[in-house]
Chain A
Amino acid sequence: MHIKAVPLADIHDPELLALLERCSALGVPDALFPGVLARVPEYAKVLLRALAVSHAEGAVDHKLKEVIRVQLARTAGDAYFARLRSRKAQAEGLTEETIAAGCGKFEADSRFTDAEKWALAYARELYLNPERIDAAFYAEGKRHYTEAQIMELGAFIAFHYGMQVFARTLRLPSPRGSSPPR
């Protein structure tokens, strides 16, 4: 771990503490990454709010976003975020089997709707084959989602991937009791 997290006892900003509590309740991220961000409190507040809002709010199903988030962490090569799990998504019924399926060959998997398959492909191709995200790809997306939902998905994907590529370089230790990477 190349940058040490600020100990919770040393964080006194009530807005930042409330965001840490919100992230802790969701389970994504746990206290470690926010503790690193807390070295720059004004950054931490903006970034943690964006992580939480883009992940757990909006008009796109949170369980789908959680599958996408884990898929992205694996694309980014970030073991820390790949092992975290949203308690909210788990409470709503998301299983490890569905997460594993969403990170694999989901195109032929009947557990996903055509809309979900498009969203999973959007996340996968955006950072592996961005040239495939062309006008036809967006036209297909608009058959399943409103433009507002597509922007919500795109912004969520871009933001979480960006934080994951940074987290990867920090070599954050794996969360305790976390799921093994698949």
Chain B
Amino acid sequence: MALRYSELMALDPDRIDAAFYDELKRHYTDEEIVELGAFIGFNIGYHTFFGTLKFYPMFAPDGRLVSQEESARIYGAAPASLVARGDQACT
């Protein structure tokens, strides 16, 4: 449910209706839902912004400090997109 909450908030927020919140409340307290919702919203906002800045992790998976060019080669030019998942998303 938490993962669906995140995907739907990013891609199809109209589907987060009263029934969805009722189902969330079967698994989480109101306090946990606020914590999750604010965290997800924050990440939706910032990751899109960060994506336009074209910066990459400072360290390789083996812990080496690497240049931005090498990091781009290691991690790829763009993250895997939820949109690119097509009908796998939000099902």
A binds B: yes
Partner of A133, one of B21, B41, B42, B52: B52
Could you say which of A3, A77, A171 has the most chain B C-beta atoms within 10 Å of its C-beta?
A: A3
By beta carbon, the residue of chain B nearest A154 is B49
* Interface of chain B residues 43 through 71 with chain A (CB within 8 A): 43-46, 48-54
- Tell me the total A-B contact number using a CB cutoff of 8 A: 82
Given A77-B13, A130-B52; A162-B34 close (CB under 8 Å): no
Residues of A near B72 (CB, < 8 A) are none
Residues of B near A160 (CB, < 8 A) are 45
Interchain CA distance A157-B48 in the complex, whole Å? 10
Per-residue contact bits, chain A 31-46, to B (CB 8 Å; 1 contact, 0 not): 0000011011001000
For chain B, what secondary structure do more than half of its interface residues adopt (helix, strand, loop), or is it mixed? helix
Q: Interface size (A, Cβ < 8 Å)?
A: 34
For chain A, what secondary structure do more than half of its interface residues adopt (helix, strand, loop), or is it mixed? helix
Given A130-B52, A157-B49, A169-B16; A3-B42 close (CB under 8 Å): no
Residues of A near B16 (CB, < 8 A) are 169
CB proximity of A85 to chain B, nearest CB, Å: 21
Per-residue contact bits, chain A 149-174, to B (CB 8 Å; 1 contact, 0 not): 00000110111111111111111000
Residues of B near A158 (CB, < 8 A) are 45-46, 48-50
